[in-house]
């Protein structure tokens, strides 16, 4: 349960509270069987001060104004982690026949402009693929930057971090992913957190079927290429033999299942589901299977064998061919082998969007550098966001770059990137930090002074503390810590404390006199996986 002072909201006017139950946090909210294997309906009565709007992940709600009491009822069985509450200075606007958006007053116009009419389009596309949307309403609430992940698929009421509003393509993908969860994850749920891919892999597959229907195959292939790049980056970081790269992860006693939220769950799971769809020959045949799967198992929890048995029973000709035992691509191997996916999708339909990225990257990294040719070859302002972040991620992978390259990159692109969204800017700033490019460091400071979100602060602090700029990071943190949620502040303190013996000198002239004293903790967070994993997971549960 996250309690926010008014200063941690956008409006700075009223306190705010929200819950985040995934994976096993709702045991601190109410007594429950906190496992996805158990589902039930629920009702709730919530009393709140006047002027505070309360919402829950429920199909029905009433409000008794004279008593200040809200009553909620979820008529369909859900696992404990999907019970969610939010309360604060929230107002709404309808954006479709069964959707409305909730946000703080200062954010509502932006939310309306980005989503009006869009959600119904996505819901209709999903229904055409996977059958009726069973939850009634599909509303969205935008939360302050303290929300610890990007988005959460709470039924009837998706939670999304407000910070993502400025990044249109990421917003589209994140909302469509949560829409997909209405079928895969919410209606049919993984019975154990050791098989989280049953929700995330299937939802990612469904998300990409929806984007293909609404935005075309090229856009879907571009987004997939971006995510698979991130998967391979995470694999390089963790090692191919790391047990967390299995789809069926063994959950040791005392381990928080949320620690298993990684790109293998999403992208390796997606690759397996995509492989199953390819065995059918036509993705529309696989859509038919998934509709039957949802109909059979809705409102229950399943294990992988339920999915795979249903698949083989739906396609008896595949069962006769023993596709589950095909050499090198055995279902059992997909589930229990460490390392990369056994097969990856053909993304050639996205070449019109990915090829320019590959060409530009090659121009900037081929020696000797022809900076004039590289600079004149592409206008980044005309690229899609996913093209730009794919390009920057690959530069980031190659960092540190030769000084002449980073200097020319800054001359060509730095001012253009300043006006782009935060998903793009943070990647450029990470390149600046990893290359110790001092002329653009002031932009890193400016970015961190204006960010309160975990996903836009942690990666930069990780990079600053890995290199030679830890004192610069400490200086910024002293100045900005009061605007950060205590949980985020603690995480950054842990990052800053790594390897400090003794504490490096701080330029105290840059710290305001009313900054409270801060004690850095000596311990390092056991859950920290490094900047790459934190940035690239960009988790939309």
Residues designated catalytic: 178, 266
What secondary structure does DSSP assign to 488-521, as a single string? HHHHHHHHHHTT-SSPPP--GGGS-TTPPP----
The span from the CA of 494 to the CA of 448, in Å, is 17
Report whether 303 contacts 317 (CB < 8 A).
Answer: no
Q: Which strands form 60-64's sheet, in the order they lie side by side? A: 39-47, 69-79, 60-64
Q: DSSP code of 540?
A: B
Q: What's the rounded Cα separation, in Å, for the pair 102 and 142?
A: 6
181 is in an annotated binding site: yes
- What lies within 8 Å, CB to CB, of 238 at 6+ separation is 244, 245, 262, 529, 533
**CA-CA distances (angstroms) from residue 166 to 114, 162, 418, 523?**
9, 8, 13, 35
Write the CA distances from 62 to 24, 52, 69, 70, 277, integer angstroms: 28, 14, 8, 6, 43
Please give the Cα distance from 88 to 143 (Å, whole number). 10
User: Is 92 annotated as belonging to a binding site?
Assistant: no
Element housing 2 (H / E): strand 2-4
Q: Which residues of 130-153 are buried (b: 16+ CB within 10 A; e: fewer)?
A: bbebbbebbbbbbbbbbbbbbbbb
CB 235 within 8 A of CB 343: no
CB count in 10 Å sphere of residue 526: 7
Interatomic CA distance for residues 112 and 377, integer angstroms: 36
User: E-assigned strands of 66-191?
Assistant: 69-79, 85-88, 91-96, 99-103, 139-143, 151-152, 157-161, 188-190
E strand spans, 254-312: 300-302
Chain centroid offset of residue 148 CA: 10
Task: Write the DSSP string, 37-82.
Answer: T-EEEEEEEEE--TT-EEEES-SEEEEETTTTEEEEEEEEEEEGGG
Q: Please indicate if the annotation marks 285 as binding a ligand.
A: no
Question: What length is written for the chain?
Answer: 541
For residue 471, give the 3-state DSSP assignment.
helix
Q: Binding site, residues? A: 177, 181, 200
Q: Binding site for Zn(2+), residues? A: 177, 181, 200
């Amino acid at each position: 349960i996250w309690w926010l002072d008014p200063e941690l909201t956008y409006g700075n006017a009223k306190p705010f509270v929200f819950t985040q139950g995934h994976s096993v946090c709702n045991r601190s909210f109410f007594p429950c069987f906190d496992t996805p294997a158990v589902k039930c309906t629920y009702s709730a009565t919530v009393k709140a001060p006047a002027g505070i709007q309360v919402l829950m992940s429920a199909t029905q709600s009433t409000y008794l104004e004279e008593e200040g009491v809200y009553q909620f009822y979820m008529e369909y069985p859900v696992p404990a982690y999907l019970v969610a509450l939010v309360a604060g200075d929230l107002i709404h606007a309808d954006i479709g026949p069964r959707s409305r958006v909730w946000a703080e007053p200062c954010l509502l116009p932006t939310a309306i402009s980005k989503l009006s009419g869009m959600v119904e389009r996505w819901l209709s596309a999903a229904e055409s693929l996977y059958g009726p949307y069973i939850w009634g309403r599909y509303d969205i609430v935008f939360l302050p930057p303290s929300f610890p992940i990007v988005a959460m698929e709470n039924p009837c009421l998706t939670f999304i971090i407000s910070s993502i509003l400025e990044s249109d393509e990421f917003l589209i993908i994140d909302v469509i992913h949560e829409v997909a969860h209405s079928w895969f994850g919410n209606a049919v749920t993984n019975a154990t957190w050791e098989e989280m891919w049953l929700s995330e892999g299937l939802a990612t597959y469904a998300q990409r079927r929806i984007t293909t229907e609404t935005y075309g195959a090229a856009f879907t292939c571009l987004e997939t290429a971006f995510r698979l790049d991130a998967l391979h980056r995470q694999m390089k970081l963790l090692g191919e033999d790391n047990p967390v790269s299995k789809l069926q992860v063994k959950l040791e006693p005392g381990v928080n299942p949320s620690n298993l939220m990684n790109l293998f769950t999403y992208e390796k799971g997606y690759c397996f589901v995509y492989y199953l769809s390819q065995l059918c020959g036509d993705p529309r045949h696989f859509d038919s299977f998934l509709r039957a799967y949802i109909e059979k198992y809705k409102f229950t929890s399943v294990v992988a064998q339920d999915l795979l048995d249903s698949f083989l029973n739906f396609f008896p000709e595949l069962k006769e061919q023993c596709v589950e035992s095909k050499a090198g691509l055995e279902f059992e191997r997909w589930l229990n082998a460490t390392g990369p996916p056994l097969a990856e999708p053909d993304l050639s339909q996205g070449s019109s969007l990915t090829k320019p990225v590959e060409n530009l990257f090659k121009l900037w990294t081929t020696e000797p550098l022809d900076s004039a040719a590289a600079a004149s070859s592409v206008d980044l302002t005309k690229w899609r966001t996913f093209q730009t972040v794919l390009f920057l991620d690959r530069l980031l992978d190659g960092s540190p770059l030769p000084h002449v390259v980073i200097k020319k990159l800054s001359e060509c692109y730095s001012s253009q990137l300043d006006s782009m969204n935060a998903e793009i800017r943070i990647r450029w700033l990470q390149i600046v930090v990893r290359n110790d490019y001092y002329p653009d460091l002031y932009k890193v400071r400016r970015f961190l002074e204006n960010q309160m979100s975990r996903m836009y602060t942690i990666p930069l602090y990780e990079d600053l503390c890995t290199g030679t700029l830890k004192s610069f990071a400490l200086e910024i943190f002293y100045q900005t810590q009061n605007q950060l949620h205590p949980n985020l502040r603690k995480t950054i303190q842990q990052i800053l404390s790594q390897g400090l013996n003794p504490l490096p000198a701080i330029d105290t002239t840059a710290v305001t006199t009313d900054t409270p004293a801060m004690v850095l903790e000596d311990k390092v967070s056991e859950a920290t996986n490094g900047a790459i994993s934190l940035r690239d997971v960009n988790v939309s549960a």
